[in-house]
């Protein structure tokens, strides 16, 4: 499908995961077997898209080391893919796994909100 697949590492099981979460004391009670499949929808290499990707990568590296995969989908190249995930806004990050599906709209500049959105941290 020509999707720009940027596998951002699919490392093995890592111990000592999510130190930040633990430090906050509101850590997700997810089992260490969980794998995070994320999709980032963009429309061309716009500044917003680039910012979003950079923000996402940083965040995942910090919180989901070795347990995630990011797929970047450029709708300008594959417009038909917008339908499946009901994409309207750009950029949109979709958490395909673990379920339920979550969507985060925007350039992901607010890390706290992204963490809440991804259920990595509960909103207080």
Partners of 4 in the beta sheet? 72
Question: Of 9 and 119, which has the nearer Cβ to other proteins?
Answer: 119
Contact of 30 with 67, CB cutoff 8 Å:
no
Q: Which window, 5-13, 15-23, 32-40, 75-83, contacts other proteins (CB under 8 A)?
A: 75-83
| 120 lines the binding site for other proteins (CB under 8 A) | no
Among 98, 80, 96, residue whose Cα is nearest residue 40: 96
| 91 lines the binding site for other proteins (CB under 8 A) | yes
Could you tell me the end-to-end alpha-carbon distance of the chain, in angstroms, rounded to an integer? Answer: 40
Contact of 64 with 36, CB cutoff 8 Å:
yes
| 57 lines the binding site for other proteins (CB under 8 A) | no
Residues in binding contact with other proteins, number by CB under 8 A: 34
The correct pick among 38, 39, 107, 121 for binding other proteins (CB under 8 A) is: 107
């Amino acid at each position: 499908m020509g999707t720009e697949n940027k596998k951002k590492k699919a490392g093995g099981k890592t111990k000592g995961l999510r130190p930040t979460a633990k430090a906050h004391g509101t850590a997700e009670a997810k089992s260490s077997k969980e794998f995070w499949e994320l999709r980032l929808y963009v429309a061309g290499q716009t500044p917003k898209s680039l910012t979003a990707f950079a923000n996402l990568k940083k965040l995942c590296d910090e919180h989901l080391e070795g347990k995630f995969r990011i797929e970047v989908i450029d709708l300008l190249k594959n417009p038909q893919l917008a339908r499946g995930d009901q994409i309207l806004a750009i950029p949109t990050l979709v958490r395909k796994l673990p379920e339920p599906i979550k969507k985060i709209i925007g350039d992901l500049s607010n890390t706290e909100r992204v963490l809440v959105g991804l259920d990595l941290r509960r909103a207080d």
